[in-house]
Amino acid sequence: IEIFESDGVCDRHKVGEKFKFPEDNGKICQWLLDSMNSMIRVLKYGGTLPWMYSDTPYEKKINPVGITTEFVRCPDPTARIVAKITRIPSSNG
Please identify every stretch of the chain with a pLDDT value under 70, giving residue numbers as ranges: 90-93
Which pLDDT belongs to residue 89? 75
Which pLDDT belongs to residue 92? 57
What are 20's strand-pairing partners? Answer: none
- Secondary structure (DSSP) of 13-73: --TT-B--TTTTGGGS-HHHHHHHHHHHHHHHTT---S---TTSTT---B-TTS-EEEEEE
Contact yes or no for 74/3 (Cβ under 8 A): no
Give the three-state DSSP class for 90: coil
Per-residue pLDDT tens digits for 39-63? 999 988 888 888 889 999 999 888 7
